[in-house]
Amino acid sequence: MRSLGIALILAVSLASVGFYHGLATDRWTDVISDASGGNITDQIPLTLGDWVGEILPRQEEDDRKTMIENRRYRHRLTGSWVLTSLTAGRAGRVSIHNPEHCYLGSGYQVVDSIRLETIRFGEREGTFWTGHFEKRKATGVESIRIYWGWTSDGTWEAPEYPRLYFAARPRLYKLYFIHPIEPGDSTPEALYRDFMVQFLTAWDMKFHPH
């Protein structure tokens, strides 16, 4: 009887682990169920102050079990640009494939240490990872700064282990901000920060309309 009891406990434990792993990896979802829900950024305008945006085509390598919208915003006066990429879907898929892995696998190198940074917008704030990445090409060196974070409820967070942290959330969003770092670039970081504040403020209105 004792052996039977131990066997039952082990079976239940293994089933629980398997169920959790299935949720974390999104094993049981399909493209249609995850991709429904319309335009995930339809409430964020393409014009934010002096920044004017355009929607970019979805990339071939994008995960088809998620919704992704990429945009490029340009500043009217300086010509400076910022790319945004917003992904929505099940937490098991949205929490993975992050810059510190994907960009390194694409030939980029981390120039400085990846760190946490807080962005304040209005009376709220969000926490994002940020890193400076470079890639050597035949035409020169491509140098960019990336910010990335997640939210399931409107509060942007940057946990160390997002896949575990968000495992129980039914839906998750991931946001990238990407801007260039050019040698001799006179564009102040404050200009890019101003854009991020405006974008996050518009996003906040989606979750917390006044």
DSSP secondary structure letter of residue 58: P
In this structure, what token pair is assigned to residue 27? Answer: 């094993």
3-state class (DSSP) for residue 132:
strand
pTM exceeds 0.85: no
**pLDDT (0 to 100) of residue 39:** 57
Whole-number Å distance between alpha carbons of 39 and 68: 9
Give yes or no for a contact between 101 and 183, defined as CB atoms under 8 angstroms apart: no
Give yes or no for a contact between 69 and 55, defined as CB atoms under 8 angstroms apart: yes
CB neighbour class for 41 (10 Å; exposed up to 12, middle 13-18, buried from 19): buried
**pLDDT (0 to 100) of residue 184:** 66
**pLDDT (0 to 100) of residue 137:** 86
**pLDDT (0 to 100) of residue 32:** 36
**pLDDT (0 to 100) of residue 59:** 66
Domain definitions of the chain by residue range: 30-207
**pLDDT (0 to 100) of residue 17:** 36
3-state class (DSSP) for residue 183:
coil
The pLDDT averaged over each successive group of 10 residues in the chain (210 residues) is 47 38 45 45 88 87 74 96 94 87 80 94 94 90 94 94 93 95 77 96 80
